[in-house]
Structure 1
C-alpha cells in the first residue's frame, strides 16, 4: 500500500515525507515555483514544481497531505510579487506549466553598479524577474541597442546577463498601485520611502535609474534617507508612460554610458 506525501511547513522551509523518505527545502534556496496541470481519462497530475538554481527540482502533488497549508503559507514566507498567483493556478489550462514565483535575489549581483527603480510591479500577473513583463522586453531591447550581439535573446539568459553587468531592479512600492485612487497611490508611495532607502543602503549602487516620473520625489527622498552618495541619478519614463522607442533609446544611451 502506497503512502501519500506529507508536507510540513515552518519559518525555515518545508519538508516532504513519504515513509522513510524525506526531502528538505529552505525558503532561501528556492529559485522558482511552477504549477503544472496534466489531466486525461487515465490519470490526473497536478502540483507544484520547486526549482533550485543548479537545475535540481522537487515536485509536490496537490494530493499530498498538507497541500492547502503549503499554499496558505507561500505568501507568508516568500515575496510572491504576482498577487494573482492563486487565480493563475485555478485557471491553469490542461497540459500547461506556469511560473508563479521567481526569487529575484538569484539575479542580484554581488556588487550593484546600477540600481534600476520602478514605481511598482505591474498588476497583470507579469513581473520583470518572472521573465514575462513588458518592462523586461524593453530593457532587453535597450541593452541590445547599446551593446549589440553580446546580449542574449532568451529572457532567462538575459536576466543572467543583466546580473553579470551588475544591474538590478527594485520597486518603490512592493505591490501594484495602478488601480488605486490617486490619494491612496500617494500614501503608499510615501509609506514605501523607508523600505526603498534600506534597499539603496544595502546595495550602495554607483548609479540609479528611476523608471517612473511620478516616483521621482519619493525616490529622491529615499536616496537622501539612505545616506548613499551616487555618481548619478537619472529618470526615464517607463514604457507604460512613454512610447516604446523613446524609452528604449533613452535607456540604451544610459547603458552605453555605464559600459564605458
Structure 2
C-alpha cells in the first residue's frame, strides 16, 4: 500500500492481496547486535552504567510494576521500541522528568549512545531493555503505559523479509493491551509501504483507533517531536515520513 503525500490515505479495509506473513504470535529478533567497535569510554558505560539501568524481567506469569522501576517518582510510563541512537528518548526524558521512559533496543552501538546521553544529562527517569521487545511487552501488565513509540523501524522491504517486521497483528494486540485507556501508540516511517502495512494491521486491532482526520495529521510531526538525525537524512533524500498516531479505545 503506497501513501500519497497530498491527501489522507483511504481507510484500510480487508481487500487486497497483501501477504499476512509475520502476523502470528511467534517472533524472533532479526538484525545485528553490534556494529562498529566500541571506544573505551563506551565500553566503560556499557560495563558500569547499563547494569544500573537494565531491567530484569519477572518469572513467567508475573508482571512488572512499571512506576516502581524508576528511582524517582513518575506520573506515567512510556515505552520506546527500537530507540536507535536514543535521540528521541533522551530528548523526551529531559523535557519530562516526571515521565518514566523504558527504551528497548538490542543493538549495542545504539544502547551506548543512549547511555552517554543519560550519563551527561544525569537522567534518572530512563530504564533500558537490551533484548527483544516482545519479551518486555509480555512482562508488562494491562493498561500500564501512557505511550508506546515505534520510530523508523527496519522496513525489511523484500517480500520474503516482511515476516521480520515488528508490526504484526500479534504485536499490535500486545501494544493495545499494555496501553491505558486513552493512551497512544505513535509510529513513524519514511517508507510508505511500511506505513500502509501498519495502517492495515491497526485497522484490524479492535483496541486501537487511528486519530488522523486530515492530511496534516499524518504528514506533519507531532507537536512535541524533537526531530532526529535519521529523519533529517530521510527528508534530504526525498522520503517524507509518515507520523501515525493510534489511541487506545475500548474494543
**What TM-score does the superposition give when structure 2 sets the normalisation length?**
0.32
- Of structures 1 and 2, the one with the larger relative CO (CA 8 A, separation 6+) is 2
Higher CA-based Rg? 1
Larger proportion of strand: 1
What TM-score do the two structures reach when normalised by structure 1? 0.31
